Amino acid sequence: MTDQPIQNCGKCGLCLSVCPVYQVLKQEQASPRARLQLIKAFEKKDLSASPLLKDLVSQCLMCGACKVACPSGINHYAKFMEMREQLAKAQPDPPAIRSLVYLLAKEYRLRMGAGLARIGRRLTPAALEKKYKIGNIPVSRFPEMNRRPLRSTLPRVSPAKDTAGGYSRGNPRGRVVYFTGCATNYMFAETGQATVNILTRLGYEVVIPDGQTCCGIPMMFHGARDQAVENMAVNLTAIQEAMRENGGDTTENARGTAAENCDAMDKACDEAAKNCDAVIVDCTTCGAALKDEYPALMNTNADSRHATLTQKIAPDMPETIAGKTRDILSFLHDHIDDLAAAMKQDTSKHKVIYHAPCHSRNSFNSMAKVLDLLKALPCFDYIPVPDAAACCGGGGTFFYEYPDISQKMMAKKLANARAAGADYWLTDCPVCRINLHGSLSGQDSLKVVHPVTLISKGLGE
């Protein structure tokens, strides 16, 4: 369905019932409908790009629930992103946010930043760590950085393992590209290790693209479209190479003839790209970038360097990649029986509850599949909690910018989670993970992990 112009918003108010920020503040100016009205007023020049307007537009998690619920087909998400860009030009973000965008814009900065953060944590006295907070989260409850970035510890191509179904290194079930995202690369290495282990144990060959970097969503949220385009170009080029180059036997053979015939090689590469089964993400926000944002960004000429940056990308590649992008849990859902069968007989059952991140619900619509997995796999003893689909208040940098609202969203979730008596609080978004873990205290035994960690354990290494 094509997006409708915001003039077609019927102001019916249905979005109020699904907006986590409105539900906390109970004030119309915090609702998606109001933000559209504000944008209309801004476009008509009834309102200027004031700090207050920026605040009202920014007081939003960018969770996309309004877009999904809207009966009039308004794409609030895209409209808000555009408006944020305009307002960021007029009213620069605070230094902390600008630093984040600066850091995420180049992989080497990020790598260095992560290293420094690790050293910084080692040098920070424990007392200070407890005292200082980012948003509501004490510094001591932030995740430690990986000792080494995940991607530097994994091979570019992880071969398929032998499976009961007869797949093996020489005869893989298929080939998938794994886009790790920054959080897994720098903070949550075990999520990446688990993802690769599960996929290879299912008989897939896993290719990790060289040179991938931050997906760019954080920049888009803060109006830095030019940087986002740059990151998109880097990532699409990297994923394209990964999809093309490792085509198993077919490509190897084709490569033999490549020296004589470039066309044949291109053809073989395209064939290989087509044969790639999926582009896997373990973070649905990165996934939303690949699936929804990149094709749209390709069509904007925000930056004069746009053409240069994107010249290596085949014209249909953004759409191809978008079409193949799968969140890991939905992908595993396709293999639910194989996974259950492959689990160790004596697998320990872990009591788990689930928190559905906004992009998992609103971009990938994966919640029902995740619950299927949690109910079907022998490593889980799934305990339902009433507000599994309620927002945790993380929302990218929302928890830092609006700690009071964020805390109110978390409060009820936290009480329900604690009452459930589970061992693990599962979620498939790194920001939710930081926020959930950060809101728990040292006394809580509840551990926050990505579901793949326990699935991987259940399969054994």
Q: Which residues bind other proteins (CB under 8 A)?
A: 1, 4-5, 7-14, 16-17, 26-29, 31, 34, 37-38, 41, 46-47, 50, 52-53, 56, 70-74
Nearest approach, Cβ of residue 59 and other proteins (Å): 12
Q: Kindly give the interhelix angle for 225-245 and 317-324, rounded to the nearest 10 degrees.
A: 80
For the bound state, the minimum distance from the C-beta of residue 411 to other proteins, rounded and expressed in Å, comes to 16
Q: Do residues 429 and 394 make contact, with C-beta atoms less than 8 angstroms apart?
A: yes
Closer residue to other proteins (CB): 7 or 299: 7
Min CB(53)–other proteins separation in Å: 5
| Nearest distance in Å: CB 367, other proteins | 15
Nearer residue to other proteins within complex by CB, 25 or 383: 25
Least Å distance, CB 325 to other proteins, is 22
**Residue 316 exposed, middle or buried by CB count within 10 Å (0-12, 13-18, 19+):** exposed
What 3-state class would DSSP assign to 3? coil
Minimal distance, residue 313 CB to other proteins, in Å: 33
* Phi, then psi, of 36 in degrees rounded to 5: -65, -40
| Residues facing 425 on adjacent strands | 353, 448
Which letter does DSSP use for residue 14 in this model?
G
Cα angle 291, 330, 66 (rounded to 5 degrees) comes to 55
| 19 vs 154, beta carbon nearer other proteins | 19
Nearest to other proteins of 79, 306 (CB atom): 79
Rounded Cα–Cα distance for residues 370 and 332 (Å): 9
Q: Tell me the three state secondary structure of residue 278.
A: strand
Please name which of 236, 245, 184 lies closest in space to residue 211, comparing C-alpha atoms. 236
- Tokens matching residue 158: 């992880």
Q: In terms of CB distance, is 50 or 261 closer to other proteins?
A: 50
List CB contacts of 170: < 8 A, sequence separation 6 or more. Answer: none
CB-wise, 54 or 161, nearer to other proteins? Answer: 54
- Minimum distance of other proteins from residue 450's CB (angstroms): 30
Is residue 184 within 8 A of residue 150, CB to CB? The reply is yes
Nearer to other proteins, 31 or 284 (CB): 31
